[in-house]
Structure 1
């Protein structure tokens, strides 16, 4: 796989849990589950579309650290606390990925680490194609 480079956002959660914000291994980039949590609560407050958009913005920012963009994403995984909101989350996802069309999974879960969080998204990207 070649070299391995990590990106840390320096959050307490990373330190407690022992993980990286993103890892580049060779031509592959793996972005950890991303929420909209800010210092004062979720960006977008109780709006699942706004939270989803913020998750995707942060994923794009992590990819940019490695010289990549959303156009390199080949897979996303979406976790929502209310599966009935899947279409609304899909709106935010489609707004960023309608032309890219990565594979994706959406899963309903009982909760995230803060009850105000409604969605978490992770992404895998490939820098070259063969």
Structure 2
């Protein structure tokens, strides 16, 4: 089965040269995804709203490939300010809690100072 690439229309994908997600068999690898609303070209100043938008962007890529958040087996959270992580827990629990994936949170600078969170996931189709 050939690899399939999923694009969201983000200018970052085009400018940097990557896909939002890559599907390889029963696996999906979703690139680090930020809280930009790609249709509106905006990003909220609020970290919780950015987290919701990150997950909406991830969900859209996964659904386009026939996956769901229930298929997530690994998640990585990146926060420039580690104090922003805990306020996001309720949203993260709501979206990823049912799958209970392996998870890591790291504090790291992101490409744009407006970005307060970036999330990367790996999923495996349940069979």
- TM over 0.5, yes or no? yes
TM-score by length of 2: 0.90
Counterparts of 2:10 and 2:45 in 1: how far apart (Å)?
22
SS at 1:84 equivalent: helix
Aligned positions, number: 125
Counterparts of 1:13 and 1:85 in 2: how far apart (Å)?
24
TM-score by length of 1: 0.88
Aligned to 2:75: 76
Counterparts of 1:15 and 1:47 in 2: how far apart (Å)?
26
Shift of 1:100: 1.4
Deviant stretches of 4+, over 6 Å: none
Query: Counterparts in 2 of 1:5-44, with a 5 A limit?
Result: 5-38=4-37, 39-42=40-43
- 8 Å contact 1:78–1:119 — kept in the other structure? yes
1:123 to 118, 121, 124: 121
